[in-house]
Structure 1
Amino acid sequence: MKQLKILVVDDMEAHRRRLCRIIRDVPRFTLIGTAQNATEAVSYAKKKQPDIILMDIEMEDASAGIRASAEINQIAPNAKIIILTIHIDNQSIFSAYQTNISDYVVKSAAKEEVIEAIDQAAQNTSSIRPYIANKLKEEFARVKHFEENFTHIFNVIATLTPSEIEILKSLCQGRNRKQIAAERSVELETIKKQISSILKKFHKRNTREVLQFIDEHDVMTMIAKISYD
């Protein structure tokens, strides 16, 4: 079986030592070096062309490992990068996978899990771990919900007249019906009818619900962008 050349990247000595011990205990693994920051990691990867890189995320700064992974993907595209980190937040996970990493493992993982991750990465058989899959499901659901909301909001905005948009702006600024009628020099009944039309288009019962919806979905920003475009 081919010897796998492995590079360990972590700014904490205790973590580097643990990973080095794991690698040295497996005959088919060869430790070719360690790095303590992103700069060293990129330099090692360029010079030694490792098969596998065990990469921490937070080193000289919170996303150093992600930046290093992106650079290494360009200069050593055959290297398989396994993120080993304590961070399992959505931003870290999604940012890491955007750099074309092979796997994402928490540092508390057992020795056997780390070895398995290395072997799978080398064979291009890395699977998405359950906690990553759950994060992806949550993100897909969030994106779907956002798209549905966006379509609904866009359709509502498309039906608003210029006059209704100006009334919405005034309502958002805290003005009441009488104040809006006065500033627009129209009858109060005209403003009431226009607000009634706005409520129907938003499918809301009163202006409070409309304003809450506008605030939660940043509707006025969307209106401004559409108007300027």
Structure 2
Amino acid sequence: MSKISIVIADDHAVVRSGFSMILNFQEDMEVVATAADGLEAYKMIATHQPDLLIMDLSMPPGENGLIATGKIKEDFPDTKILILTMHDDEEYLFNVLKSGASGYMLKNAPDEELLHAIRTIRRGGTYIHPKMATSLVREFVKADHTVAPDDPYELLSKRELEILPLVAKGYGNKEIAEMLYISVKTVEAHKAKIMEKLGLKSRPELVEFALKKKLLNF
């Protein structure tokens, strides 16, 4: 059985080292890289394509974990993300889950819980710290069933909202990839999703849509 490849992102070097020692000691886990902020974490994911990213939410002065979570899940959907933080806060929990994280743990949890969370997520499950799970259930019970938005533009993800005006302005896939630090293949995939979500068949239709939305401020 292959080991679970892991990247650790935390702005404290001592935390990165400590977690690395714990995880590398396990027979089924291997830390392949570490990062000090969200931007560096993104680069490490692009390089190593790990099974799991363990990431802190607050990593000043670089890009924080919440922003990075959304970008990483959109561009590298196969990499699972476990948020490890000191924030015992419902809003943080809901936001990271909406961004695509597969787990949420508090840093003061015992080592055994961290290992259990990693293995649970690796098997395709979701892990929520028991203390936070009650809040999640309560929010789910009271949540209304929302209706799909009338404007398909609202269906676009953050990354798709970045790519749409660039495509409309005539930039090629390679140029867009270099601007956003993603692969050409990823750009092509996002373009296909944009066309599908907006119900468009051609680039002229996309340009017309962008003009109506006032996205072409050259």
Shorter-chain TM band: 0.5 to 0.7
Q: Distance in 1 between matches of 2:28 and 2:55?
A: 20
Q: Distance in 2 between matches of 1:19 and 1:12?
A: 11
Assess, with a 3 A threshold, how the Cα gap between structure 1 residues 30 and 60 changes in structure 2: closer, same or farther. Answer: same
User: Please, what is the CA RMSD of the aligned residues?
Assistant: 2.2
Deviation at 1:24, TM superposition (A): 1.3
Assess, with a 3 A threshold, how the Cα gap between structure 1 residues 125 and 137 changes in structure 2: closer, same or farther. Answer: closer
Return the letter of the residue paired with 1:75: D
- SS of structure 2 residue aligned to 1:20: helix
TM-score normalised by the chain length of structure 1: 0.58
Deviation at 1:30, TM superposition (A): 1.3
- SS of structure 2 residue aligned to 1:50: coil
Structure 1 residue 59 and structure 2 residue 31: aligned? Answer: no
Deviation at 1:62, TM superposition (A): 10
Aligned to 2:93: 93
Structure 1 residue 133 and structure 2 residue 133: aligned? Answer: yes
**More helix per residue:** 1
Return the letter of the residue paired with 1:58: S
Aligned to 1:80: 80
Assess, with a 3 A threshold, how the Cα gap between structure 1 residues 91 and 62 changes in structure 2: closer, same or farther. Answer: farther
Deviation at 1:63, TM superposition (A): 7.7
Structure number with greater Rg is: 1
Q: Distance in 1 between matches of 2:46 and 2:52?
A: 13
Q: Distance in 2 between matches of 1:105 and 1:41?
A: 18
Aligned to 1:38: 38
Structure 2 unaligned blocks of 5 or more: 145-218
Identity of aligned residues (%): 29
- Do the aligned residues in 2 keep the contact of 1:57 with 1:63 (CA within 8 Å)? no
Aligned to 1:10: 10
Deviation at 1:140, TM superposition (A): 4.5
Deviation at 1:115, TM superposition (A): 0.9
Return the letter of the residue paired with 1:126: T
- SS of structure 1 residue aligned to 2:11: coil
After superposition, give the CA deviation of every residue in 1:116-167 in whole Å (9 maximum; x if it has no partner). Answer: 11111110123444222211244356657xxxxxxxxxxxxxxxxxxxxxxx
Deviation at 1:23, TM superposition (A): 1.1
Return the letter of the residue paired with 1:78: D
